[in-house]
Amino acid sequence: MTEMKKYRPGDFCWTELATSDTNAAKKFYSNLFGWKANEMPTGPDQPPYIMMQINGKNVCAMYENKKVPTKWLSYVSVANVDESAKKAKSLGGKLKTEPFDVMDVGRMANVLDSQGAVFALWQPKRHIGAELINEPNTMCWNELMTNDMESARKFYSALFGWKLKISPQYTEAGMGDIATAGMVQMDEKMRDVPPYWACTLP
């Protein structure tokens, strides 16, 4: 069992689902992966933030937002969100949201990379991210589908200091010798699909 107590800056640490129907999402993912839902109050007249757990350990989350398309968001741990957000902009990225505090659990910003793929920066306080990874039904890999592989390599290696292992069809990336993410060049069949990050579970 791979239990996490902290993440290195530059490591993927969390993933969450924004959904228009939390009841349906809870039922679907609980039946599929055996996750248990732990609802966390967020404020008066606000939907809860739902921690999804395995053996009492947080593995991801979901929340209800009827104003946006249903989608997953991948988070990267950083030492300082404000500095990382500023650096992302200097490298050609854009901020979807400026850095902000999430109560006392952490500080975050939503970023669009130089091709428009969205990811989140996370500066941990009380919440480090997933407490269990690299086990069945937990986060084990994050993968970027990009329409400009060369620009993506330059952007992320400069932003996070990722080491890259480049092959003709695929690029592996991560902070150390063991890769934790990958990048794929989208082909012509996907030319109308916007670049995106996807989280993979074993």
Going from N- to C-terminal start, the domains of the chain cover 2-124, 133-200
Q: Distance (Å, rounded) from C-alpha 174 to C-alpha 179? A: 4
pLDDT at residue 165, as a whole number: 96
Tell me: pLDDT of 1 over 80: no
Q: Which tokens go with 175?
A: 């902070």
CA distance 202 to 184: 19
Q: How far apart are CA 44 and CA 114, in angstroms?
A: 37
The per-residue pLDDT for 22 is 95
On the question of a common fold for 2-124 and 133-200, the answer reads yes
**Residue 202 pLDDT > 80, yes or no?**
no
Q: What is the pTM of this model?
A: 0.95
We find that the CATH architecture of domain 133-200 is Roll (3.10)
pLDDT of residue 94: 98
Q: What is the CATH number of domain 2-124?
A: 3.10.180.10
- The SS3 of residue 54 is strand
Window from 38-47, 64-73, 104-113, 150-159 with minimum mean pLDDT: 38-47
